[in-house]
Structure 1
Amino acid sequence: MADYTDAERDTVRNAAFGAIALVSKADPGFLSSFKESLAGSKALAAAPKEITEILRGGGLPKPPTGDSAAQEQAVLAGLSQAVGVLESKADGSAQAFKGVILEATQAVADASDGVSPEEQAVLDKVRSALA
């Protein structure tokens, strides 16, 4: 496994948890948020070892600041940065990360009464940011 700096780990961790939060925010409501958070956490916990090792430690992820549009832009930019960090290591972790994020965000969207149009729009943006 490649070595990662604390800043690189923070970038990847913030992007992963930010993507889950972004999809969850698209479907408001306490019960929905709870179900979605649990689904996203399970998906991340089931990630390949190389990804879980990057996501562990380093404290809590730092949520983006600003209004909803600024937060969305920060998360999507963070996803692109995270992919760049992982691709620079050339150890296959970028592909694994993309798969984990797509699976986790889909699990979040599916967790409460299926995928709403708002959630699908966010899923599409996440997919584009990972490309």
Structure 2
Amino acid sequence: MEQRLTDDERLTLKTGAFGAVFLVSNADPGVVALFRESFAASGAMADASGLVKEALTTGPLPKLPRASTPEIAAVVLPALSRAVEVLAARSPQDVESYRSVVLAAADRTARAHRGVVPAEVEAIARIRAALDGSS
């Protein structure tokens, strides 16, 4: 049975999802890449539905660290794990949808500019592990 999310829970889902895209994008930085990657990721996020879509499209954008990949990962990976926990408790049928949307956005981000590089593959593996609760 689906339950409404609190503002903090929605922000956790957004931090995980948007942060995953930022983590992959930061793995192979570049100004031109940033625009292509953002566009690619937004397409995947638009495919969300139900509670996941509501969480990703309402409320403020998350504040993510801008300094280094380790700092970004230290915020994003726990948020992904927590987001899955929140959904498992509030709306179990949406857990797989969230995982799929986040992984699709991360994958589209990686493929958006010059193909996928090893650093992006590693970032996606870390994202997948956090979503699976094994980070």
TM-score (norm. length: structure 1): 0.93
Instruction: Give the aligned partner of residue 61 of structure 1.
Output: 62
1:31 paired to 2:45: no
> Take 1:119 and 1:87, find their aligned partners in 2: how far apart are those partners?
28
Percent identity over the alignment is: 39
> Take 2:101 and 2:124, find their aligned partners in 1: how far apart are those partners?
13
TM-score (norm. length: structure 2): 0.90
> Take 2:67 and 2:113, find their aligned partners in 1: how far apart are those partners?
27
Q: Which runs of 5+ in 1 are unaligned?
A: none
> Take 2:122 and 2:41, find their aligned partners in 1: how far apart are those partners?
18
Q: Letter of the aligned partner of 2:55 in structure 1?
A: I
Instruction: Give the aligned partner of residue 52 of structure 2.
Output: 51
Inter-CA distance 111–67: structure 2 relative to 1 (3 Å threshold): closer
1:26-55 CA-partner distances (Å, limit 9, x unpaired): 111111111001101111012123311111
Measured after TM superposition, the shift of residue 60 of structure 1 is 1.7
Q: Which runs of 5+ in 2 are unaligned?
A: none
> Take 2:130 and 2:36, find their aligned partners in 1: how far apart are those partners?
25
> Take 2:48 and 2:5, find their aligned partners in 1: how far apart are those partners?
18
Q: How does 1:1-131 map to 2 (within 5 A)?
A: 1-64=2-65, 67-131=68-132
CA RMSD of aligned residues (A): 1.4
Kept in 2, the 8 Å contact 1:64–1:75? The answer is no
Q: Which runs of 4+ in 1 moved over 6 A?
A: none
